[in-house]
Copies of this chain bind each other. A is one copy, B any other.
Amino acid sequence: MSESPERDARHKARMQRKKAVVDARIARAGDEHGLLLVHTGNGKGKSSAAFGMAARALGHGMRVGVVQFVKGTASTGEEAFFRRFPEQVCYHVMGEGFTWEIQDRQRDIDGACEAWKVARELLGDPSIGLVLLDELNIALKYGYLELEPVLADIRARPLHQHVVATGRSAPPGLIEAADTVTEMGLVKHAFQAGVRAQKGIEY
């Protein structure tokens, strides 16, 4: 690739400004404490990003708790994988299938309440560094769980513990309470073009 000295100089100046901005932000930042993260939106990657954080946390020697509030019909790769580390990962799958497979609201409510009991135990366990609440947002959206008691349990967790909640349509109160919120937006999806859900990608 042919490069000009001018472009090199412009690049260097831009990177210097960028470094100054980043360094200043780091200097202002406070001490470590547990964060509440929310992954929402219609795009792909909400749960994947939470499971990537789980891998990251395990790499730092942290323990991880997982509660999946909605169970898919297919066995998932993430469950098969993270169950290999029972000393480091407490993995709980609740519910009995996607809600639109079942169509029984009271059964979904009972399942969500059972799942929250498990989540509350993880949120009360100081040996757990990251609690992953997969599809919690869906349980809140459909009113299977009430927001206020859920937030109260999250707020009462150990100071260093991180929490990540995933699912479309996160309620505004959860977004307000969160430290970091990412909206996974759908730009395009293979499914729209008629491609079947793929092993290793969707599940």
Contact = CB atoms under 8 A, between A and B. Distances in A.
B58 A77 contact: yes
Contacts of A28: 194
A94 interface: no
Contact of A195 (B22, B77, B175, B179): B179
Interface residues of A, number: 91
Contact of A3 (B57, B99, B109): B109
A183 interface: yes
Nearest to A108: B11
A8 B141 CA distance: 15
Nearest to A45: B49
A79 B56 CA distance: 8
Nearest to A142: B11
Contacts of A16: 100, 103
Contacts of A78: 52, 55-56, 59
A7 interface: yes
B82 A143 contact: no
A182 B44 CA distance: 6
Contacts of A8: 105-106
Contacts of A80: 59-60
Contacts of A11: 103, 105, 142
Given A16-B100, A59-B79, A181-B189, 5 more contacts: A32-B199, A41-B185, A43-B184, A45-B52, A47-B52
